[in-house]
């Protein structure tokens, strides 16, 4: 059985779910996404990844600036769908919109709710040192990721994983989960469970001010901070020197042996001392430059043991 659906999503994370719904025979009659934004050197208007894919599939695309007007509600209702699927859309759905499809609106969220409700669950799970993450399908209500949960899949987080790695693992996992959920919904067999009141945490939007690396923290916390912000916005530090400090984004690192003053370069392989233990940088990026491996960086910028990252 198939459903008549509206799909609402914007970034890369949402694209696999759209593709899987279409591939499994659901009728996606309209795609809602955020309006194109200026991007790149020429500041040309750039369609969202979801809009690009929807247009390739020949699905009508809508980019309303708000869903709170009577006109927006009327347009939404006019599609006469069974349900709506929402994946990282980026706009609040008012109660009238949530109530419009007879079977409801269903959201794919990149965390194990009720942990990490909110905007940046992938980043926050890594930064907090969580051992696992996952995806959940929930029936939406007006709260912030507070709806009843239908299905979940779990995924271990290793210390080698960056936010990009976890994002790329969760996106197809979530697509498969949403397809299974919509199949169950079409058969009338989707079971919903209320979220626990225990263990609620909020994944606040990442602020620029928290991206600076604090080398005084233990090595594993520094590693998780770096990986949780990689590649965007990128955890950064400065390389102290005779002239203007050079700003560097650290993109990947690994645990290493060694001890020293926080931020001290311990050897010729970019091992850096932390408050407790050390990490070895494996990938980094100069301001305005492309990411590079540590070995390439060191060829152009030889560092003496004892140099400092601050």
Give yes or no: residues 35 and 139 share one domain: yes
Helix (H, G, I), strand (E, B) or coil at 272: strand
> Does the residue 226 lie in any domain?
yes
Give yes or no: residues 99 and 198 share one domain: yes
Say yes or no to pLDDT of 199 above 90: yes
What is residue 299's predicted lDDT score, i.e. its pLDDT?
A: 93
Say yes or no to pLDDT of 243 above 70: no
Give yes or no: residues 166 and 221 share one domain: no
Where residue 57 sits, what CATH number does that domain have? 3.40.50.170
> Does the residue 310 lie in any domain?
no
- Measure the CA–CA gap between 309 and 128, rounded to whole angstroms: 23
The two tokens of residue 26 are 């659901």
Say yes or no to pLDDT of 242 above 70: no
Contact of 304 with 293, CB cutoff 8 Å = no
Pairing mode, if any, of strands 292-293 and 235-239? unpaired
* pLDDT tens per residue across span 59-113: 999 999 999 999 999 999 999 999 999 999 999 999 999 999 999 999 999 999 9
Last-in-domain residue among 202, 225, 257: 202
Contact of 20 with 183, CB cutoff 8 Å = no
> Does the residue 306 lie in any domain?
no
Q: Of all residues in the chain, what percent carry a pLDDT higher than 90? A: 91
- The pTM (predicted TM-score) of the whole model is 0.95
Of 145, 161, 78, whose CA–CA distance to 111 is shortest?
145
- For the segment 187-201, the average pLDDT, to the nearest whole number, is 96
Structural domain range at position 158: 4-202
Q: Which helix (H) or strand (E) holds 193?
A: none
- For the segment 150-169, the average pLDDT, to the nearest whole number, is 98
Give yes or no: residues 186 and 212 share one domain: no
Give yes or no: residues 196 and 247 share one domain: no
Contact of 246 with 257, CB cutoff 8 Å = no
Give yes or no: residues 180 and 233 share one domain: no
Helix 15-23 and helix 49-57, axial crossing angle in degrees, nearest 10: 20
User: C-alpha dihedral over 113, 114, 120, 125, to 10 degrees?
Assistant: -80
Contact of 87 with 9, CB cutoff 8 Å = yes
- Measure the CA–CA gap between 179 and 285, rounded to whole angstroms: 38
Give yes or no: residues 251 and 143 share one domain: no
Buried (b) or exposed (e) across 228-253, using 16+ Cβ within 10 A?
A: bbbeeebbbbbbeeeeeeeebbbbbb
Give the single-character DSSP code of 269. T
* pLDDT tens per residue across span 26-73: 999 999 999 998 887 788 889 999 999 999 999 999 999 999 999 999
Give yes or no: residues 156 and 52 share one domain: yes
> Does the residue 309 lie in any domain?
no
Give yes or no: residues 27 and 171 share one domain: yes
Last-in-domain residue among 202, 227, 244: 202
- For the segment 259-267, the average pLDDT, to the nearest whole number, is 96
Last-in-domain residue among 162, 185, 202: 202
Q: How far is CA 246 from CA 225, 249, 290, in A?
A: 20, 10, 15
Where residue 226 sits, what CATH number does that domain have? 3.10.25.10
């Amino acid at each position: 059985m198939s459903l008549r659906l509206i799909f609402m999503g914007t970034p890369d994370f949402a694209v696999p779910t759209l593709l899987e719904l279409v591939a499994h025979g659901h009728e996606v009659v309209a795609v809602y996404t955020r309006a194109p934004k200026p991007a790149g050197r020429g500041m040309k208007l750039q369609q969202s990844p979801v809009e690009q894919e929807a247009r390739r599939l020949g699905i009508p695309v809508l980019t309303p600036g708000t869903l709170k007007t009577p006109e927006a509600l009327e347009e939404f209702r006019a599609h006469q769908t069974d349900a709506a699927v929402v994946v990282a859309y980026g706009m609040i759905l008012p109660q009238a919109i949530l109530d419009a499809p007879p079977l409801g609106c269903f959201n794919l969220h990149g965390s194990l709710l009720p942990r990490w409700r909110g905007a940046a669950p992938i980043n926050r799970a890594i930064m907090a040192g969580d051992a696992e993450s996952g995806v959940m399908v929930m029936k939406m209500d007006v709260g912030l990721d507070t709806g009843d949960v239908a299905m979940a899949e779990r995924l271990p987080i290793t210390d080698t994983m960056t936010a990009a790695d976890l994002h790329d693992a969760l996106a197809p996992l979530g697509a498969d989960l949403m397809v299974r959920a919509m199949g169950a919904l079409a058969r009338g067999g989707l079971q919903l469970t209320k979220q626990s009141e225990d263990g609620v945490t909020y994944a606040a939007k990442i602020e620029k001010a928290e991206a600076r690396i604090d080398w005084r923290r233990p090595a594993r916390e520094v590693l998780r901070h770096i990986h949780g912000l990689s590649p965007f916005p990128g955890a950064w530090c400065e390389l102290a020197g005779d002239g203007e400090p050079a700003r560097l984004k650290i993109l990947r690192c690994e645990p290493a042996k060694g001890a020293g003053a926080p931020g001290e370069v311990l050897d010729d392989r970019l091992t850096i001392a932390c408050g407790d233990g050390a990490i070895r940088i494996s990938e980094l990026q100069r301001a305005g430059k492309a990411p590079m491996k540590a070995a390439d960086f060191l060829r152009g910028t030889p560092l003496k043991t004892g140099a400092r990252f601050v």
